[in-house]
Structure 1
Amino acid sequence: MGRWEPGARERLVMAAVDLFIEQGYDATTVAQIAERAGVTKSTFFRHFPDKRELLVAGQETLSRLLTEGIAEAPGTASPLEAVAAGLERASGAMGPMNRELAPRLKAAVAASTELQERDVLKSVSLAAAMAAALTARGVPGPTAALAGELGMLAFKRGFAEWSEGDRDAEDELAGHTLAALDELRAASATLG
């Protein structure tokens, strides 16, 4: 086992998701994940406090990118324009590994109630982070909360479309998330 090989975090996530699919979340141990990833258990624990946290790997980074994009949007931007800036910034950080991992992660989550709960908490946390960033821009609370929820929904819809699409296509996630946000904006206008 390579002790300090680069990419250990990514290998751990990939190994865990594959094991969750193969044998179930509950039956998978940290030792098995570490072995599959080619690292030691102590390396696992340097990256994650427990196996539940594998699902939210990168959540802090995603939250930071979303909120930075919102904060850096022009002062004249509407709440949804600011959310679009956050989505664009966060989407730019997603690459081929994210696209490759997504269908496998979706299958692992679908097979485990505990992972479904973690996924919901992740979504709630990201929507709340966007709402807080909007509130910091002076957007009233209810408007900020709604825009944050729409942003999260757009991210999830765009990510699903992108990850399930043609793997050889050179399209970027940002196009999908921004298109999803536009669709949601149009749909919300019809609510009356």
Structure 2
Amino acid sequence: MVRWQPHASERLVVAALELFEERGYENTTVIEIAERAGLTKSTFFRHFPDKREVLFGGGTMTGLLVDGIDAAPAGASPLEAVAHALDVIGREAFTADRREFGARRSAVIAANPELREREALKGLGLTASMIDALKRRGVADLTSRVAAELGALAWKIAYERWSDTNNSDNFGELARRTLTEVQAASALC
């Protein structure tokens, strides 16, 4: 086996998704994922702490969200700052060439309670990161929380829409439309 090959992390993610689809999450081992990717078990663990995390991108999304909120224009409202972060995610992570992967990933997660739980925990962490980033911008605690929660809900709905392979809208546009819809719906409550 070659000692170093580029894109090990991405290859591990693709191998894991393929195996989870073929055999199920429970019936797939880290060793099998590493072998499918042409790598070793130790290489797997250099990139991911466990097989659950292979589908969740480490801290990539958190970094994109925080950077997006931080980079929003100084006069942006809290929801505009969140929308700016969702735009960044659309440009950097949820690109058109990743749509099919997103749909496949969602199906694997939906089929496994452990992965659904992990997805929910990751979502809570992302929301907390948005809250913290908004507070650093000087946004009040409650306003930060409401904006982050609305942003997280919009993100979830937009991701479901975006990962539909029949949809051709880009994620940023979907997320902004969805955020507007969520904000309007919250005013009706």
The TM-score with structure 1 as length reference comes to: 0.90
Q: 1:183: which partner in 2? A: 181
Amino acid paired to 1:13: V
1:135 deviation in Å?
1.0
The SS at the match of 1:152 is helix
Q: 2:7: which partner in 1? A: 7
Amino acid paired to 1:85: H
Q: Does 1:100 align with 2:100?
A: yes
1:120 deviation in Å?
0.2
Q: How does 1:22-101 map to 2 (within 5 A)?
A: 22-57=22-57, 59-94=58-93, 95-101=95-101
Distance 1:11 1:96, change over 3 A: farther
Tell me the distance in 1 between the aligned counterparts of 2:134 and 2:115. 29
Q: Any unmatched runs of 5+ in structure 1? A: none
Tell me the distance in 1 between the aligned counterparts of 2:96 and 2:121. 25
Q: 1:151: which partner in 2? A: 151
Tell me the distance in 1 between the aligned counterparts of 2:12 and 2:171. 24
1:75 deviation in Å?
2.3
Matched residue count = 188
User: Is this contact kept in 1: 2:100–2:163, CA < 8 A?
Assistant: yes
1:97 deviation in Å?
4.9
The SS at the match of 1:42 is helix
Tell me the distance in 1 between the aligned counterparts of 2:18 and 2:165. 20
Q: 2:120: which partner in 1? A: 120
Q: Any unmatched runs of 5+ in structure 2? A: none
Tell me the distance in 2 between the aligned counterparts of 1:96 and 1:79. 27
1:96 deviation in Å?
4.2
1:73 deviation in Å?
1.6
Amino acid paired to 2:23: Q
Distance 1:42 1:96, change over 3 A: farther
Q: 1:135: which partner in 2? A: 135
1:157 deviation in Å?
1.5
Tell me which moved more, 68-77 or 172-181. 68-77
Amino acid paired to 1:19: L
The SS at the match of 2:92 is coil
Percent of aligned pairs sharing the same letter: 49
